[in-house]
Amino acid sequence: MAFPSSVRLWEVGARDGLQNEKQAVPAAVKIELIERLVECGVAYIEAASFVSPKWVPQMADSAEVMAKLKRKPGVVYQALTPNLKGLEQAEASRLTDVAVFAAASESFSQRNINCSIAESLERFRPVCERALGHGLKVRGFVSCALGCPFEGAVAPAKVAEVAAALIEMGCYEVALGDTIGVGTPKAVKRALEACAARIPLSWVGVHFHDTYGQALANIYAALEEGIDAIDASVAGLGGCPYAPGATGNVATEDVVYMLNGLDIATGIDLDGLVKTAWWISDYLGRPPASRVARALAARLRPSVA
Ligand code: HMG
Ligand code: MG
């Protein structure tokens, strides 16, 4: 299949990235990060997470972030909503896009959302029904799509089964999460082939963490299959607090650099993105994980006072 001419690049740094930070990140910094990213041309952004604050304290100020954020028309702002309580908060925050997150591994489902895969799907059904009834759009995730921190290998058929269940209950797109970044291009192709047997691949996105340095190769493999929705995190921030050993998502700068080279449009200004990567990294007190951001540091790192 030919490469797509453009992709929807979902920036997840403010959620998947900051949810995993050890140090408290004030709402004002999260808001500035999101606004800077949008200024760079990011049009799809995971901005918040309405999960239990006991489970993920870093996201406890999501309502404040959404209340104070200056929203740009045309930009999609999305939040995670694991249950009806989360959806109600997202609606109160005037969000029109939410996401539910299932897993292809039983052990990870238990650790991450305290229920089995089947129970999670039963929990998501009323979330989807209510969201769709109120005119919201729901994206889905299948975590551990290429491997599980507790069970190891995950069957592509299980990934496809969970993805199809999420589509069936009304998700418009399902992102396959390599939660611990263990996958390789062959595993990507096998997971996508299994999905293609059940749902159109135009409804599938990829959400790869970069623990083993395979994420760009894996995205290239997905592009070869025609995938045109890619998740990434500025500066490579992130990880999942319930996935031991997982590092951040693939860095958005690295993805945009590769896509620019492939003539695949994202609408994102790479220089602005690199400046933003350095801005948040300097705030957090460590260099970006992104190779591109480090390569361009001499020209684009904002001066640190
Ligand atoms: P639970 O303890 O089984 O749920 O947690 P519960 O219904 O018994 O509620 C327990 C308490 O939490 C109650 O409070 C609820 O009110 C409260 P209490 O009565 O004890 O004071 N509560 C909530 N509070 C705020 N917002 C809510 C909410 N729901 C319940 N929405 C639950 C179940 C799903 C809530 C919990 O396990 C949870 O929040 N898990 C989220 C874990 C998480 O956020 N993980 C990271 C995101 S997923 C990820 O990173 C992977 C992804 O990036 C893709 C990939 O990389 O593969 C998406
Ligand atoms: Mg993730």
Q: Which two tokens stand for residue 59?
A: 């996201």
At 280 the pLDDT is 97
> How would you write the pLDDT of the chain (305 residues) with one tens digit per residue?
689 999 999 999 999 999 999 888 999 999 999 999 999 999 999 999 999 999 999 999 999 999 999 999 999 999 999 999 999 999 999 999 999 999 999 999 999 999 999 999 999 999 999 999 999 999 999 999 999 999 999 999 999 999 999 999 999 999 999 999 999 999 999 999 999 999 999 999 999 999 999 999 999 999 999 999 999 999 999 877 788 888 999 999 999 999 999 999 999 999 999 999 999 999 999 999 999 999 999 999 987 65
User: What is the rounded CA–CA span in Å between residue 24 and residue 57?
Assistant: 9
Ligand 1 atom 19: the closest Cα is on which residue?
Answer: 52
At 246 the pLDDT is 86
Ligand 1 atom 50: the closest Cα is on which residue?
Answer: 240
240 is catalytic: yes
Residue at 6: amino acid letter: S
* 8-300, CATH topology level: TIM Barrel (3.20.20)
Q: For residue 232, what are the CA distances in angstroms to 117, 125, 251?
A: 25, 27, 6
Ligand 1 atom 14: the closest Cα is on which residue?
Answer: 52
Residues composing the chain = 305
Q: Kindly report the CA angle at 156 between 118 and 128, in degrees rounded to 5?
A: 40
At 305 the pLDDT is 52
- Would you list the domain boundaries of the chain? 8-300
Ligand 1 atom 40: the closest Cα is on which residue?
Answer: 113
Ligand 1 atom with the smallest distance to the CA of 12 is: 53
Ligand 1 atom with the smallest distance to the CA of 19 is: 46
* Of 153, 143, 157, 151, the residue nearest 104 (C-alpha): 143
* Mutation to probe ligand 1, out of 51, 233, 247 (largest number of atoms < 8 A from CB): 51
User: What is the rounded CA–CA span in Å between residue 244 and residue 52?
Assistant: 19
- Residue 55 CA to ligand 1 centre (angstroms): 6
Ligand 1 first shell, C-beta below 6 A: 16, 19, 49-56, 80, 82-83, 85-86, 101, 112-114, 141, 143, 177, 179, 207, 209, 240, 242
- Residue 52 CA to ligand 1 centre (angstroms): 4
